[in-house]
Amino acid sequence: MKLAVLVNEGPYTHQASDTAYLFTRAALEKGHEIFRVFFYHDGVNNGTRLTVPPQDDRNIVKRWTELAEKHKLDLVVCIAAAQRRGILDENEAKRQGKDANNIAPGFRISGLGQLIEAGIQADRLVTFGD
């Protein structure tokens, strides 16, 4: 089955981000295809490379990055939600006149069209968070 995943909550705020990660990993292990993981609303905070959890805590951003690298996942962060929360890639930082970017490895910034496409292309769109 081809799945798309929508993450609407940030890491360390609610269980949604952890559950989305665990679901995605389990689906891949069972042989399902993940068309795209789309991060929206506060979920875009999963894509910042500046997250530094305590050493004895899970590093959700790193987990997503490693899963994307291992399985060639498309991790897309909504551009409008990201800009509101100060998450920028190199191109957006330049375009907005900022001197730095903070997108985590494996993530990319794009628009809501990527969510629409995921919903069309996948057999199921699974949503985590409000």
In the annotation, is 78 catalytic? Answer: yes
Residue among 78, 87, 103, 104 flagged as catalytic? 78
Q: Which positions ≥6 away from 40 have C-beta within 8 Å? A: 6, 7, 8, 78, 81, 112, 115
Mean pLDDT of 25-48: 98
Mean pLDDT of 72-81: 98
- Nearest Cα neighbor of 43 from 87, 96, 102, 100 is 87
**Is the per-residue pLDDT at 114 higher than 90?**
yes
**Is the per-residue pLDDT at 61 higher than 90?**
yes
**Is the per-residue pLDDT at 53 higher than 90?**
yes
The number of domains in the chain is 1
**Domain hosting residue 58, numbered range:** 2-128
In whole angstroms, give the CA distance from residue 26 to residue 99. Answer: 39
- With a pLDDT cut of 90, the percent of the chain lying above it is 98
Residue 124 or residue 13, greater confidence: 124
Mean pLDDT of 35-48: 98
- What letter represents residue 76's amino acid? V
What is the predicted pLDDT for the residue at 24? 98
CATH code of 56's domain: 3.40.1260.10
**Is the per-residue pLDDT at 13 higher than 90?**
no
